[in-house]
């Protein structure tokens, strides 16, 4: 169920310094999320697609995620054009379609896809453990990073635990439906999941104390910024600044 | 429950981020290193539990369980939920970086509020405790939907109808969450009452 299909690979992007990738992704996605001009959004989508191509990630996995995100966006297309009042664009039967609703739905579609693709290409191409260490080097508070790594470490274990509980329920003839028995069963599964998680946490904590845990995780990975990373950083920063300039230059009185 | 990227305005994203930072800071302050393992593993359990789909009539909904997480972790629910959302964002690309702050507020603020309101009743007589647990599950989803609705309306007044639909659509989820939280608390009271907050120490 839970996996990291993009994390391994040997493309240029996979080899870039994780800190640089995290920083650039944040900058890029914020600029895209706050842009409204179609020219900016289309350029951003093209750049994100280019990043996906460079990162050589599995196309089928990318497509799965694109379909997921766009299924949600499709709901917006069903709602916004009818509820977002403004100039009437056209009529379908007795329903009016409003122009601002269509414009907004189109903007959100472009933005979401551009952000999704860029995050896959730049962020999902590192393992979660690497992300944790990169965040630590970027001076994210230590406790958050600990919590992040701890959660990541045990999410797969807990998932196995959950699958075991569900298997046991199925063997006893459990078939989910809309009835009290189903909800009770799920409540007990969830309850048991939390009980086992807490018991495991206790053991893990004791094991950590035995090994001399003093509130610090050490990373043996040395981060070194290669020249390729620097070139990529400079290029990407130029792109981010360029997009921001395209979007907001009309607010600068000189232009 | 979360808002995907590219929907909200800059001011909403920034204020959400700032509020989430404050909540997380309080949560971290109360979370000493002895409890990090527990909080991390419980937030993993929360993450897995949110993948469970329960049937509601012909459709199904995934569990949210932020009320229960609030009961089990108190203020530490803030960092725990933040971390679970980061994991979701990186593994599934749900939610995402820009909406992280707002989504944390949507899930964690109701969790902490329900913890503050409902936890004093959990070790009372069983009917009262069950009622409190139901309220906790129900209210946490209701408040989450309201915060989500507010975030939409603050972005754009024309989002009002979308927000109303979102809140309305979550009413069945609120009832289910209330039931599941109540039965889950009943289960924990039998199996491991020390996990619930305010367990009277001997």
The CATH class of the B10-195 domain is mainly alpha
Nearest beta carbon to residue A111 from set B6, B39, B92:
B6
pLDDT of residue B187: 93
* Beta carbons of B158 and A84 less than 8 Å apart: yes
Helix (H) or strand (E) holding A228: helix A227-248
Give the tens place of pLDDT for each residue, A159-195. Answer: 999 999 999 999 999 988 888 888 999 999 999 999 9
Closest residue, chain A, to B40 (C-alpha): A151
Locate tokens 């508070």: which residue? Answer: A141
Per the DSSP assignment, residues forming a β-bridge with B55 are B60
Q: Is B116 at the interface with chain A, CB within 8 A?
A: no
Residue A29 has pLDDT above 60, yes or no: yes
**Residue A254 banded pLDDT, cuts 50, 70, 90:** low
Helix (H) / strand (E) containing A174: none
Q: Which of A152, A190, A201 sits opposite B37 (nearest CB)?
A: A201
Residues of chain B with pLDDT under 50: none
Q: A32 to chain B: which residues are within 8 Å by CB?
A: 6
- Torsional class of A93: left (φ above 0), alpha (ψ -120 to 50), beta (otherwise): left
The model's pLDDT over B129-163, given as tens digits with 9 standing for 90+, comes to 899 999 999 999 999 999 999 999 998 888 888 88
Q: What is the pLDDT of residue A226?
A: 85
**Residue A2 predicted with pLDDT over 80:** no
Give the pLDDT of residue A1. Answer: 61
Position B126 scores a pLDDT of 83
Identify the pLDDT of residue A178.
84
Q: Which residues of A touch B43 (CB under 8 A)?
A: 147, 151
Domain boundaries, chain A: 12-126+224-251, 140-210
Residues B102-120 have pLDDT tens digits of 999 999 999 999 999 998 8
Residue B194: what pLDDT? 85
Of B36, B72, B182, Cβ closest to residue A143: B36
Tokens of B198: 């305010």
d(CA A38, CA A36): 6
Q: What's the pLDDT band for A90 if we cut at 50, 70, 90? A: confident
Give the closest of B37, B158, B176 to A183, CB-based. Answer: B176
Burial (Cβ within 10 Å: 0-12, 13-18, ≥19) of residue B37: buried
* CA-based torsion, A61, A64, A68, A71: positive or negative: positive
Cα separation, B51 vs B45, whole angstroms:
10
C-alpha span between A37 and A247 (Å, rounded): 6
Distance linking the first and last C-alpha atoms of chain A:
52
Bridge partners of A96, per DSSP, are: A91
Q: What is the pLDDT of residue B160?
A: 85
- Residue A117 pLDDT > 60, yes or no? yes
pLDDT of residue B94: 67
- Determine contact: B183 vs chain A, CB below 8 A: yes
* Predicted local distance difference test score (pLDDT) of residue A210: 93
Residue-level pLDDT at A255: 55
Cβ-Cβ contacts under 8 Å, A58 against chain B: none
A14 token code pair: 């996979």
Q: What percent of chain A has pLDDT over 70?
A: 98
Backbone angles phi, psi at B9, to 5 degrees: -80, 165
Q: Which helix (H) or strand (E) holds A95?
A: strand A95-98
- Give how far Cα A120 sits from Cα of A89, A156, A169, B55, B107, Å: 36, 21, 36, 31, 24
CB A204 within 8 A of CB A157: no
CA nearest to B31 within chain A: A143
Nearest chain B residue to A3 by CA: give it.
Answer: B91
């Amino acid at each position: 169920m839970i996996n990291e299909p993009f994390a391994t690979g040997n493309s240029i992007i996979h080899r870039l310094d994780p800190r640089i990738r995290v920083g650039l992704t944040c900058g890029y996605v914020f600029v895209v999320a706050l842009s409204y001009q179609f020219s900016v959004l289309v350029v951003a989508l093209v750049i994100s697609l280019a990043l996906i191509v460079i990162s050589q990630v599995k196309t089928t996995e990318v497509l799965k995620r694109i379909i997921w995100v766009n299924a949600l966006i499709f709901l917006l297309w069903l709602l916004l054009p009818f509820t977002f009042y403004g100039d009437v664009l056209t009529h379908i039967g007795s329903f009016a379609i409003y122009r601002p609703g269509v414009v907004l739905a189109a903007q959100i579609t472009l933005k979401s896809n551009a952000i999704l693709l860029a995050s896959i290409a730049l962020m999902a191409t590192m393992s979660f453990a690497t992300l944790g260490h990169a965040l630590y080097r970027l001076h994210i508070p230590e406790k958050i990073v600990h919590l992040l790594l701890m959660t990541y470490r045990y999410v797969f274990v807990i998932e196995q635990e959950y699958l075991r509980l569900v298997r046991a329920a199925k063997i006893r003839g459990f078939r989910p439906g809309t009835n009290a028995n189903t909800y009770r069963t799920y409540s007990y599964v969830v309850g048991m999941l939390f009980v086992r998680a807490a018991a495991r946490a206790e053991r893990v904590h004791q094991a950590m104390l035995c090994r001399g845990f003093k509130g610090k995780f050490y990373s043996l990975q040395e981060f070194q910024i290669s020249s390729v990373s620097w070139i990529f950083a400079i290029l990407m920063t130029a792109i981010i600044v360029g997009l921001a300039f395209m979007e907001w230059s009309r607010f600068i009185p000189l232009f | 429950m979360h808002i995907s990227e590219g929907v909200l305005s800059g001011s909403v994203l920034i204020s959400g981020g700032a509020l989430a930072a404050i909540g997380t800071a309080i949560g971290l302050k109360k979370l000493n290193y002895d409890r990090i393992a527990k909080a991390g593993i419980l937030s993993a359990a929360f993450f897995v539990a949110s993948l469970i789909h329960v049937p509601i009539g012909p459709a199904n909904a995934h569990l949210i369980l932020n009320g229960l997480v609030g009961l089990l972790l108190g203020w530490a629910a803030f960092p725990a939920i933040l971390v679970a959302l980061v994991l979701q964002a990186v593994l599934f690309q749900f939610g995402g970086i820009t909406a992280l702050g707002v989504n944390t507020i949507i899930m964690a603020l109701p969790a902490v509020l329900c913890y503050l309101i409902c936890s004093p009743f959990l070790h009372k007589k069983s009917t009262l405790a069950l009622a409190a647990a139901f309220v906790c599950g129900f209210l946490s989803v209701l408040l989450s939907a309201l915060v989500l609705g507010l975030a939409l309306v603050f972005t754009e007044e024309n989002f009002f109808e979308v927000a109303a639909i979102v809140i309305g659509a979550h009413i069945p989820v609120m009832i289910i969450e209330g039931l599941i939280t109540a039965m889950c608390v009943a289960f924990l009271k039998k199996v491991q009452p020390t996990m619930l907050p305010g367990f009277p120490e001997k």
